[in-house]
A and B are shown apart, each in its own frame.
Chain A
Amino acid sequence: MGNHHDSIALDWVRGEIQDTLTQGQHALEAYVENRDDTARLRFCLNYLHQVHGTLQMVELYGAALLTEEMEKLTQAILNESVSNVDEAVDILMQAILQLPQYLEHLTSSDGAAAHAQ
């Protein structure tokens, strides 16, 4: 991570990502409540893609890669190509909840230094 990534951009990004992930979480929960409501799963995918784009914009490629995987998993559920939907949804939910913690860790000075290497 270069020097130009100072705290302004990261703080902004963290707030935006947290908000978008919360929206994704709600969409996923709505889908879990009603499996016929696949539109909500699509919404979750849209939110994840937005987070992915934001992470790329600030060049946090590790986290961006994780969200890309999350997108693929969501797309696979939508395409009905996962064998165990319950498990897939659980994993997705865990990832949504853990990503902000990971970013929190990155923005602490030690984390940022570690990421730069």
Chain B
Amino acid sequence: MRRLPDMDAAQFHQWQTLLEHRTGITLSADRRSFLETNIGIRMREIGCSSFQAYYEKIVSGPDAVVEWATLVDRLTVQETRFFRDPDAFRLVSDYVLTRPREQLRKRALEAWSVGCSTGEEPYTLAMVLNECMNQLGMQPLFGVTGSDISKPAIDKAGKGQFSARKLLGMDEVLKDRYFRPAERNTVEIVKNIRDRVCFTRLNVLDLDTAPMHGMNIIFCQNLLIYFRRWRRREIVKRLAERLAPGGLLVLGQGELTDWQPPGLQRVPSEHVLAWIKRQADEE
């Protein structure tokens, strides 16, 4: 296999700028080899031999839109797990179980997993909400939306099929209740959970036009770490606007420090970084 030329500093800067401009993600200098490797792999696949030629293809080529959709998947998709942050899901469960029943009866619960990658987090949320509704003896008419910038990732998520090894360490009861064996050592999420989850492509830089409003629970973990501080705050502000009064926002530990988002009340927890949106009359 022919070796690609190294990416020089100017080229790195060019790609870094493009990625940040289009996705908000900022790559520090120590991530140069990550960028170089992933772009290089894609260039080999399509027989492109220079970073410059590929850059031009991405910004102005005839199929720039299509190629960008492929590349953005390679540069942004993160490995994730079911029940990755057990403390956070316990908080969600406590939160739902302590809501006034009247409120839950009036309007179906809606949750949103921002930057959902291949779907493990929104499916986990759906399982948690389903458990809560069962416990409360209510109809499971909740909805969970998973959004991600990568179309291949949300396509995979939508299929609801995962490698069986993804279930290692999961509670046996939950495993039996929510997964079925499928072809070739894979498992499939059961239909009644898949029906409660929807996946959609969304760039977090476009949150101002996003159709999600009045969300009861918003999960945004392991996404903000890739953004500059001022942008993290912008994103959190936008997400807070999308919460219903009394809604819960959950971020990853340490992802937003030294800043109190306006209109939100910190949930007193050592293990979870979360806020509740104040009711209008508390403002």
A and B pair up: yes
Mark A residues whose CB is within 8 Å of B.
4, 6, 8-9, 12-13, 16, 23, 27, 30, 34, 36-40, 42-43, 45-50, 53, 57-58, 71, 75
Residues in A neighbouring B210, C-beta threshold 8 A: 49
Q: With A27-B198, A39-B141 as given contacts, are A6 and B108 in contact (CB-CB < 8 Å)?
A: no
Return the 5 tightest CB-CB contacts between A and B, nearest first. Answer: A39-B143, A43-B198, A8-B63, A46-B200, A49-B211
Bound-complex Cα distance A42 to B158 (A):
16
Bound-complex Cα distance A51 to B61 (A):
22
Bound-complex Cα distance A111 to B117 (A):
37
22 A–B pairs (Cβ distance < 8 Å), ordered by A: A9-B64, A9-B65, A13-B65, A23-B158, A27-B198, A34-B141, A36-B108, A37-B141, A39-B110, A39-B141, A40-B143, A42-B110, A43-B145, A43-B198, A45-B211, A46-B145, A46-B200, A47-B198, A49-B200, A49-B210, A75-B211, A75-B213
Most chain A CB atoms below 10 A, which of B65, B139, B142, B195 = B65
Bound-complex Cα distance A91 to B209 (A):
23
Asked if B185 CB lies within 8 Å of chain A CBs, one says: no
Q: Which of these, A38, A46, A57, A75, contacts B65 with CB under 8 Å?
A: A57
SS of A interface (majority): helix
Mark B residues whose CB is within 8 Å of A.
60-66, 69, 107-108, 110, 139, 141-143, 145, 147, 151, 158, 195-196, 198, 200-202, 206, 209-213
Name B209's closest neighbour in chain A (CB-CB): A49
Bound-complex Cα distance A24 to B93 (A):
29
Residues in A neighbouring B209, C-beta threshold 8 A: 49
B151 near A39 (CB under 8 angstroms)? no
Q: With A39-B108, A39-B110 as given contacts, are A6 and B62 in contact (CB-CB < 8 Å)?
A: yes
A4 near B211 (CB under 8 angstroms)? no
Bound-complex Cα distance A57 to B201 (A):
13
A47 near B200 (CB under 8 angstroms)? yes
User: Taking the nearest CB of chain B, how far is it from the CB of A59, in angstroms?
Assistant: 9
A6 near B63 (CB under 8 angstroms)? yes
Residues in B neighbouring A75, C-beta threshold 8 A: 211, 213
Bound-complex Cα distance A42 to B61 (A):
35
Bound-complex Cα distance A43 to B139 (A):
18
Residues in B neighbouring A23, C-beta threshold 8 A: 158, 198
Residues in A neighbouring B151, C-beta threshold 8 A: 16
B201 near A42 (CB under 8 angstroms)? no
A4 near B62 (CB under 8 angstroms)? yes
Residues in A neighbouring B195, C-beta threshold 8 A: 30
Q: Which of these, B62, B69, B142, B202, contacts A39 with CB under 8 Å?
A: B142
Residues in B neighbouring A47, C-beta threshold 8 A: 198, 200
Residues in B neighbouring A49, C-beta threshold 8 A: 200, 202, 209-211
Q: Which of these, A9, A12, A34, A46, contacts B211 with CB under 8 Å?
A: A46
